[in-house]
Amino acid sequence: MFGTLGFSYTGLIFLCCLFIPNIIYGFNLPKDYLKIEENKIFLTFERIGQLFCTVFLLIFDDFNIHNFNLWTMWLGIAFVLMALYLICWGRYFIGKHVSIDFYRPFFGIPLPLAVLPVTAVFLLSVYGKVIWLGIAAVILGIGHIGITAQNWEAIKNQ
């Protein structure tokens, strides 16, 4: 429940799935990019959540595959959500590089580039039974999904 210290290769894989597309995005902003003043509370939650998720994903080896059993389905679902997240990034990068491709729903999932990774990280915390990552994922979700929703509303009203 509190986690076993040790390196998590699964956490590293998740972090690579999160960081690499975001770095590439930094060099491929939408053509209709709109600089929006982000809510300071949401931004604080997002940054704190990012910091703790990054640390916890790497320092607890509970997220690694130790054996296959029914509980491993949580890990499988988390990986499926992360794969869907990467597909959404692909939709943006292959598309016209416009904001709507960044925010529009994916198979009915609203704000998929915010909802999918946060949910995947939360489910990884369930799989590893590490409460700290679960709390960090909730904090990240409040900030990241809040900011993304705020940005989506501003773009729709543009």
Amino acid 58: pLDDT = 97
Amino acid 154: pLDDT = 86
Q: How much is the average pLDDT of 85-103? A: 91
Amino acid 81: pLDDT = 98
* Percent of the chain whose predicted confidence (pLDDT) is above 90: 80
How many Cα atoms sit within 13 Å of 113 on the Cβ side?
24
Amino acid 146: pLDDT = 97
Q: Is the dihedral of CA 100, 106, 110, 112 positive or negative?
A: negative
Tell me which of 66 and 146 has the higher pLDDT. Answer: 146
Tell me which of 35 and 10 has the higher pLDDT. Answer: 10
Amino acid 101: pLDDT = 84
Amino acid 60: pLDDT = 97
d(CA 34, CA 152): 10
How many Cα atoms sit within 13 Å of 116 on the Cβ side?
26
In terms of DSSP H, where are the helices of the chain? 9-26, 40-59, 72-94, 99-103, 112-128, 131-156
Q: How much is the average pLDDT of 34-38? A: 85
pTM: 0.93
Confidence of residue 2 (pLDDT cuts 50, 70, 90): confident
Q: State pLDDT tens for residues 57-74.
A: 999 999 999 888 999 999
